[in-house]
Amino acid sequence: AKERGRNNFQVFSPVMDSKLKERVAIEASLRDALEKSRIEVHYQPLIDIETRRVVTLEALVRWKDPEEGYISPTRFIPIAEETGLIVPLGDFVLQRVISDMASWRKQGSVLVPVAVNVSAAQLQRASLRARIEELTRASDLSPSMLQIELTESAMFEQQDSRQDDSGTDEVSELRTLGVRVAIDDFGTGYSSLSYLKRWRVDCLKIDRSFIRDLVTDTNDHAIVAAILAMAQHLRIKVIAEGVETWSQLEALRRLGCRYAQGYLFAEPGSAARARDFLNGHRIG
Ligand code: C2E
Ligand code: CA
Ligand code: CA
Ligand code: CA
């Protein structure tokens, strides 16, 4: 795969700008990384603020390059989405998550649900529901131990492309199976809130851009308060993302936010470290 990447690179490079060059290079080496098992999955806990217990683990993909070290998903996920590589990559993450859960259970840990980030293209091109059904059944895990995290735009795209005459769509089918659904980066999607009526989502994750200045910015404070009030009426759980300081946590607690995720509690870590979180460790 690397050879093929190089050839492409030479043929087209005179007319390519540097951004496109980087894209092609990343695409080729990501393909290569998938084949050579250089993709890993790390986990970050979501915490119940009151009990300090881990309620969910979020799976976050990692690409470990022998020369460059860890490459951030913010660099390669958008390219994987554009090139369609997100489908095999997403499938790899799903397989790894399910095998990690099976091995934690085998080692005697009590599982919590694991949240997996799902791109719009994964919802559209592959039958995610059938795959989740197949993989969970093979490992004797309940689909309700999985949560998918979708951005608001992914939610809308699947609505447009998948809704057929029977009114079913991928997200509804996943929920019927028992899979939990979370809206990721909530508040950044510039979308209407009508989907909250149509789909019963399980939780909203308030984007960390609203949490960062929560303590000093009265607008952010008002937005977070409004999201919490709305979600409470709709009986949807709310998770604050990117909590880094005690004062942010205190502000969230005062606003009545029950769940949080962020470096204050733990950074994403290996599957072995995630198992420590499962074994009754309280955090903070
Ligand atoms: P996300 O889903 O919003 O994930 C949260 C990101 O915030 C993660 O970055 C996490 O490491 C980081 N984070 C957690 N706590 C804090 C904090 O307190 N402060 C700050 N500054 N950051 C914090 P990461 O792992 O680099 O992932 C970036 C994005 O890449 C994710 O954002 C998600 O959109 C995407 N992504 C990651 N893994 C996957 C995957 O398996 N599939 C898909 N489709 N997308 C993925
Ligand atoms: Ca996420
Ligand atoms: Ca997020
Ligand atoms: Ca994000």
3-state secondary structure the chain: CHHHHHHHHHHHHHHCCHHHHHHHHHHHHHHHHHHCCCEEEEEEEEEECCCCCEEEEEEEEEEEECCCEEECHHHHHHHHHHHCCHHHHHHHHHHHHHHHHHHHHHCCCCCCCEEEECCHHHHHHCCHHHHHHHHHHHCCCCHHHEEEEEEHHHHHHHHHHHCCCCCCCHHHHHHHHCCEEEEEEECCCCCCCCHHHHCCCCEEEECHHHHCCCCCCHHHHHHHHHHHHHHHHHCCEEEECCCCCHHHHHHHHHHCCCEECCCCCCCCECHHHHHHHHCCCCCC
The protein residue whose alpha carbon is closest to atom 22 in ligand 1 is 242
- Looking at residue 200, its pLDDT comes to 82
Place of tokens 């929560």: 214
Mutating to test ligand 1, I would choose from 43, 89, 117 the residue with most ligand atoms within 8 A of its C-beta, which is: 117
Q: Cβ(73) to ligand 1 under 6 A? A: yes
Q: Cβ(242) to ligand 1 under 6 A? A: yes
**ipTM rounded to 2 decimals:** 0.98
Place of tokens 């028992």: 178
Compute the distance between CA of residue 229 and CA of residue 223 in angstroms, rounded to an integer. 10
Measured from the alpha carbon of residue 93, the closest ligand is 1
- Looking at residue 16, its pLDDT comes to 63
**What is the block-wise mean pLDDT of the chain (284 residues), using blocks of 10 residues?**
49 66 86 91 97 96 92 93 93 97 96 96 84 97 97 79 59 93 90 79 96 97 96 95 98 98 97 92 62
Q: Cβ(269) to ligand 1 under 6 A? A: no
- Looking at residue 213, its pLDDT comes to 97
Q: What is the pTM of this model?
A: 0.91
- Looking at residue 249, its pLDDT comes to 98
